[in-house]
Chain A
Protein backbone atom coordinates (compact mmCIF):
# COMPACT_ATOMS: atom_id res chain seq x y z
CA UNK A 1 0.00 0.00 0.00
CA UNK A 2 1.73 3.13 -1.21
CA UNK A 3 1.14 6.05 1.14
CA UNK A 4 2.29 8.91 -1.12
CA UNK A 5 2.62 8.15 -4.80
CA UNK A 6 3.85 10.24 -7.69
CA UNK A 7 3.66 9.82 -11.43
CA UNK A 8 5.70 9.71 -13.49
CA UNK A 9 8.90 8.59 -11.77
CA UNK A 10 11.03 9.88 -14.65
CA UNK A 11 10.25 12.68 -17.05
CA UNK A 12 12.53 13.71 -19.90
CA UNK A 13 11.41 16.60 -22.04
CA UNK A 14 12.67 19.47 -24.13
CA UNK A 15 12.91 23.12 -23.25
CA UNK A 16 9.73 25.05 -23.84
CA UNK A 17 7.40 22.11 -23.28
CA UNK A 18 4.64 21.97 -20.66
CA UNK A 19 4.47 19.01 -18.30
CA UNK A 20 2.56 17.82 -15.25
CA UNK A 21 3.46 15.68 -12.26
CA UNK A 22 0.73 14.02 -10.24
CA UNK A 23 0.68 13.20 -6.56
CA UNK A 24 -1.78 11.20 -4.50
CA UNK A 25 -1.80 10.28 -0.83
CA UNK A 26 -3.97 7.65 0.82
CA UNK A 27 -3.09 8.61 4.39
CA UNK A 28 -6.13 10.79 4.91
CA UNK A 29 -3.87 13.79 5.45
CA UNK A 30 -5.08 17.36 5.11
CA UNK A 31 -1.87 19.05 3.96
CA UNK A 32 0.27 18.34 0.92
CA UNK A 33 3.53 19.83 -0.31
CA UNK A 34 5.79 20.09 -3.32
CA UNK A 35 9.55 20.22 -2.88
CA UNK A 36 12.36 20.63 -5.35
CA UNK A 37 15.65 18.81 -4.74
CA UNK A 38 18.55 20.12 -6.76
CA UNK A 39 21.67 18.30 -7.88
CA UNK A 40 23.34 19.01 -4.54
CA UNK A 41 20.47 17.33 -2.70
CA UNK A 42 19.21 20.62 -1.27
CA UNK A 43 15.47 20.44 -0.53
CA UNK A 44 13.43 23.55 -1.09
CA UNK A 45 9.74 23.85 -0.42
CA UNK A 46 7.68 25.19 -3.30
CA UNK A 47 4.01 24.98 -2.37
CA UNK A 48 1.65 23.65 0.24
CA UNK A 49 -2.09 23.06 0.19
CA UNK A 50 -4.40 22.37 3.10
CA UNK A 51 -7.80 20.99 2.20
CA UNK A 52 -7.44 22.35 -1.33
CA UNK A 53 -6.41 25.79 -0.07
CA UNK A 54 -3.00 27.20 -0.96
CA UNK A 55 -1.15 28.01 2.27
CA UNK A 56 2.49 28.20 1.21
CA UNK A 57 3.71 29.73 -2.02
CA UNK A 58 7.44 30.25 -1.96
CA UNK A 59 9.35 32.33 -4.44
CA UNK A 60 8.74 30.09 -7.40
CA UNK A 61 8.44 31.21 -11.03
CA UNK A 62 4.81 31.53 -12.05
CA UNK A 63 5.48 28.93 -14.73
CA UNK A 64 4.88 26.50 -11.86
CA UNK A 65 1.23 26.07 -10.96
CA UNK A 66 -0.05 23.63 -8.36
CA UNK A 67 -3.58 22.31 -8.46
CA UNK A 68 -5.41 20.40 -5.76
CA UNK A 69 -8.67 18.86 -7.00
CA UNK A 70 -9.26 17.30 -3.58
CA UNK A 71 -7.29 16.91 -0.39
CA UNK A 72 -5.82 13.58 -1.50
CA UNK A 73 -4.29 14.97 -4.68
CA UNK A 74 -1.82 17.72 -5.45
CA UNK A 75 -0.58 18.09 -8.99
CA UNK A 76 2.21 20.29 -10.32
CA UNK A 77 2.04 21.79 -13.78
CA UNK A 78 5.08 23.42 -15.29
CA UNK A 79 4.88 25.65 -18.35
CA UNK A 80 7.69 26.57 -20.73
CA UNK A 81 10.23 24.26 -19.15
CA UNK A 82 13.79 25.55 -18.76
CA UNK A 83 17.09 23.75 -18.27
CA UNK A 84 17.21 24.96 -14.67
CA UNK A 85 13.99 23.12 -13.89
CA UNK A 86 15.87 19.84 -14.06
CA UNK A 87 15.67 18.38 -10.57
CA UNK A 88 13.90 15.78 -8.48
CA UNK A 89 10.45 16.90 -7.36
CA UNK A 90 8.99 15.41 -4.21
CA UNK A 91 5.44 15.43 -3.03
CA UNK A 92 4.77 15.10 0.70
CA UNK A 93 1.79 15.04 3.01
CA UNK A 94 1.10 15.78 6.64
CA UNK A 95 -1.70 15.07 9.07
CA UNK A 96 -4.20 17.65 10.36
CA UNK A 97 -2.89 21.14 11.00
CA UNK A 98 -1.61 21.59 14.51
CA UNK A 99 -1.85 17.89 15.20
CA UNK A 100 1.27 16.40 13.72
CA UNK A 101 4.28 17.89 12.04
CA UNK A 102 6.11 15.03 10.37
CA UNK A 103 5.79 14.84 6.64
CA UNK A 104 5.61 11.71 4.52
CA UNK A 105 7.30 11.81 1.16
CA UNK A 106 6.61 10.26 -2.20
CA UNK A 107 9.33 8.50 -4.22
CA UNK A 108 10.11 11.57 -6.30
CA UNK A 109 9.90 12.50 -9.98
CA UNK A 110 13.21 13.07 -11.73
CA UNK A 111 12.67 15.77 -14.33
CA UNK A 112 15.31 16.22 -17.00
CA UNK A 113 14.98 19.13 -19.40
CA UNK A 114 17.13 18.97 -22.52
Chain B
Protein backbone atom coordinates (compact mmCIF):
# COMPACT_ATOMS: atom_id res chain seq x y z
CA UNK B 1 0.00 0.00 0.00
CA UNK B 2 1.19 3.47 -0.74
CA UNK B 3 2.00 5.85 2.07
CA UNK B 4 3.23 9.39 2.55
CA UNK B 5 5.39 10.64 5.40
CA UNK B 6 5.77 14.25 6.35
CA UNK B 7 8.35 14.06 9.13
CA UNK B 8 7.92 17.62 10.36
CA UNK B 9 4.71 18.24 12.27
CA UNK B 10 5.41 21.93 12.82
CA UNK B 11 7.95 24.31 11.30
CA UNK B 12 8.59 27.93 12.26
CA UNK B 13 10.31 30.21 9.79
CA UNK B 14 11.09 33.92 9.82
CA UNK B 15 9.42 36.04 7.19
CA UNK B 16 11.73 36.40 4.22
CA UNK B 17 13.65 33.23 5.01
CA UNK B 18 13.74 30.19 2.77
CA UNK B 19 11.54 27.17 3.35
CA UNK B 20 11.75 23.47 2.71
CA UNK B 21 9.01 21.05 3.71
CA UNK B 22 9.82 17.38 3.51
CA UNK B 23 7.74 14.63 1.96
CA UNK B 24 8.68 10.98 1.51
CA UNK B 25 6.50 8.44 -0.21
CA UNK B 26 6.43 4.70 -0.32
CA UNK B 27 5.11 3.11 -3.45
CA UNK B 28 6.41 0.61 -5.97
CA UNK B 29 4.98 2.13 -9.14
CA UNK B 30 5.68 5.53 -10.61
CA UNK B 31 4.02 7.99 -8.25
CA UNK B 32 1.96 11.01 -9.08
CA UNK B 33 2.72 13.58 -6.40
CA UNK B 34 0.97 16.68 -5.13
CA UNK B 35 1.31 19.44 -2.60
CA UNK B 36 -1.77 21.11 -1.15
CA UNK B 37 -2.07 24.06 1.21
CA UNK B 38 -4.84 24.57 3.74
CA UNK B 39 -5.20 28.03 5.23
CA UNK B 40 -7.05 28.27 8.55
CA UNK B 41 -10.73 27.55 8.12
CA UNK B 42 -10.33 26.89 4.40
CA UNK B 43 -10.35 23.96 2.06
CA UNK B 44 -7.29 22.49 0.40
CA UNK B 45 -5.75 24.33 -2.52
CA UNK B 46 -3.49 22.61 -5.02
CA UNK B 47 -0.01 24.17 -5.06
CA UNK B 48 1.67 21.93 -7.61
CA UNK B 49 1.80 18.45 -9.05
CA UNK B 50 4.27 16.01 -10.58
CA UNK B 51 3.33 13.31 -13.04
CA UNK B 52 6.40 12.89 -15.23
CA UNK B 53 9.09 14.82 -17.05
CA UNK B 54 11.12 17.58 -15.47
CA UNK B 55 11.67 16.64 -11.84
CA UNK B 56 11.60 20.27 -10.70
CA UNK B 57 8.05 21.56 -10.86
CA UNK B 58 6.82 25.08 -10.35
CA UNK B 59 3.59 25.88 -8.63
CA UNK B 60 1.49 28.78 -7.55
CA UNK B 61 2.47 31.39 -4.95
CA UNK B 62 6.18 31.00 -5.73
CA UNK B 63 6.45 27.40 -4.56
CA UNK B 64 8.44 24.67 -6.25
CA UNK B 65 9.07 21.00 -5.53
CA UNK B 66 11.65 18.52 -6.67
CA UNK B 67 10.98 14.84 -7.27
CA UNK B 68 13.92 12.63 -6.32
CA UNK B 69 13.20 9.03 -7.15
CA UNK B 70 16.39 7.74 -5.49
CA UNK B 71 15.31 9.29 -2.20
CA UNK B 72 11.56 8.71 -2.65
CA UNK B 73 11.10 12.36 -1.85
CA UNK B 74 9.10 15.30 -3.12
CA UNK B 75 10.15 18.26 -1.01
CA UNK B 76 8.44 21.61 -1.25
CA UNK B 77 10.51 24.79 -1.33
CA UNK B 78 10.10 28.52 -1.39
CA UNK B 79 13.02 30.95 -1.48
CA UNK B 80 11.39 33.66 0.62
CA UNK B 81 8.27 33.12 2.71
CA UNK B 82 5.58 35.69 3.34
CA UNK B 83 3.37 35.95 6.42
CA UNK B 84 0.44 34.80 4.28
CA UNK B 85 2.17 31.44 3.75
CA UNK B 86 1.30 30.42 7.31
CA UNK B 87 -0.91 27.37 6.83
CA UNK B 88 -1.03 23.59 6.90
CA UNK B 89 0.73 21.85 4.02
CA UNK B 90 -0.14 18.38 2.78
CA UNK B 91 1.78 16.10 0.48
CA UNK B 92 -0.25 13.48 -1.41
CA UNK B 93 0.45 10.56 -3.73
CA UNK B 94 -1.41 8.40 -6.19
CA UNK B 95 -0.54 6.47 -9.33
CA UNK B 96 -1.90 5.58 -12.72
CA UNK B 97 -5.36 4.06 -12.55
CA UNK B 98 -5.74 4.73 -8.84
CA UNK B 99 -8.83 6.68 -7.83
CA UNK B 100 -7.48 7.50 -4.38
CA UNK B 101 -5.14 10.18 -3.14
CA UNK B 102 -3.14 9.20 -0.07
CA UNK B 103 -2.31 12.18 2.09
CA UNK B 104 0.49 12.77 4.55
CA UNK B 105 -0.30 13.96 8.03
CA UNK B 106 0.53 17.55 7.20
CA UNK B 107 3.10 20.13 8.29
CA UNK B 108 1.97 23.25 10.05
CA UNK B 109 3.97 26.31 8.99
CA UNK B 110 4.25 29.29 11.31
CA UNK B 111 5.81 32.53 10.11
CA UNK B 112 7.41 34.90 12.59
CA UNK B 113 8.13 38.56 11.82
Interface residues of B, Cβ cutoff 8 Å to A: 32, 34, 36, 38, 41-46, 49, 51, 88, 90, 94, 96-101, 103, 105-106, 108
Contacts and interface: CB of A to CB of B under 8 A. Distances in A.
B43 A106 contact: yes
Given A4-B43, A41-B105, A56-B99, 13 more contacts: A40-B105, A41-B38, A41-B88, A43-B103, A92-B44, A98-B97, A101-B34, A101-B49, A101-B51, A102-B34, A103-B101, A105-B36, A106-B43
Interface of A: 4, 31, 40-43, 45, 48, 50, 55-56, 90, 92, 97-98, 101-108
A103 B36 CA distance: 10
A55 B100 CA distance: 10
Given A98-B97, A101-B51, A102-B34, A107 B43 contact: yes
A47 to B, nearest CB: 11
B3 to A, nearest CB: 13
